[in-house]
Amino acid sequence: MTAPNAERPIIGIVGGTGKEGKGLAYRWAKAGYTIILGSRAAERAASAAHDLDQLLSLQGRITGASNVDAVSRAGVVMLTVPYSAHVEILESIKAFAYGKLLIDATVPLQAGKPTRVQMPSAGSAAQEARNILGNDVEVAAAFHTISYEHLLRDEPVDSDVLVTGTSPDARARAIELVTAAGLKGWDAGPLENSSVSEGLTSVLIHINKKHGSRQAGIRITGVGST
């Protein structure tokens, strides 16, 4: 367990009561980050935060709040909501995200067809986020191929993370958080490339179904250490 450090940004997780949000909170809190779990209902977030905080004996490093409060108080915003709620939630936090980095893990899965890649008209969920939030919010996209089950296990994860974003700085800051979560992140280029990383989730779900597995992941090969 790493001690808290004032130089690390506070991370607000919108949809933080859900599976992926709690998994990321678990990893980042252990790495010394202060986390605010966000929810549409502040009391639900407080309860989820209390449970995680107790599990890790963190004495208050993870707290809960409404999504809007979590965004307002955070330096970096993590978005982990079902695609069906993506536009509505982004509209609700937009006024509070000015000048921040938002990392979107949303995969635009369609009900009943999780093995089929289907991107929204914006090109990808992350591009949709950028369109809604505007140019004053940097957007990165990451973690699409990392299951919450891996995040909640204290074991190495056999899968890399492709990170796209609106600027090299946005991608670098997101990769820092991928590393803090104990994963290998790759700068995968501009946000337009997020259609590939988001789409990979359907490919991995298909492979898992075909092989009766739950662990399919990806690795970048052929690149020397940098």
**Residues found near ligand NAP in the complex (CB under 6 A):** 15, 17-21, 39-41, 44, 80-85, 89, 105-107, 109, 143-144, 146-148
Smallest gap from Cβ 201 to ligand NAP, in A, equals 6
Instruction: Report yes or no: 218 and 159 within 8 Å, Cβ to Cβ.
Output: yes
Smallest gap from Cβ 136 to ligand NAP, in A, equals 24
Read off φ and ψ for residue 76, nearest 5 degrees.
Answer: -125, 135
Consecutive H or E run containing 24? helix 19-30
Query: From the centroid of its chain, how far is CA 201?
Result: 14
d(CA 195, CA 50): 35
Of 58 and 78, which has the nearer Cβ to ligand NAP? 78
| Contact partners, residue 138, CB within 8 Å, separation at least 6 | 100, 101, 102, 165, 166, 167, 169, 170, 173
Smallest gap from Cβ 86 to ligand NAP, in A, equals 7
Smallest gap from Cβ 226 to ligand NAP, in A, equals 25
Of 177 and 225, which has the nearer Cβ to ligand NAP? 177
| Contact partners, residue 104, CB within 8 Å, separation at least 6 | 79, 125, 126, 129, 139, 140, 141, 142, 194
Residue (of 1, 69, 28, 4) closest to 152 by Cα position: 28
Of 147 and 166, which has the nearer Cβ to ligand NAP? 147
- Measured from each CB, the residue nearest to ligand NAP is 18
Of 126 and 180, which has the nearer Cβ to ligand NAP? 126
Smallest gap from Cβ 29 to ligand NAP, in A, equals 17
Instruction: Report yes or no: 170 and 101 within 8 Å, Cβ to Cβ.
Output: yes
Of 4 and 51, which has the nearer Cβ to ligand NAP? 51
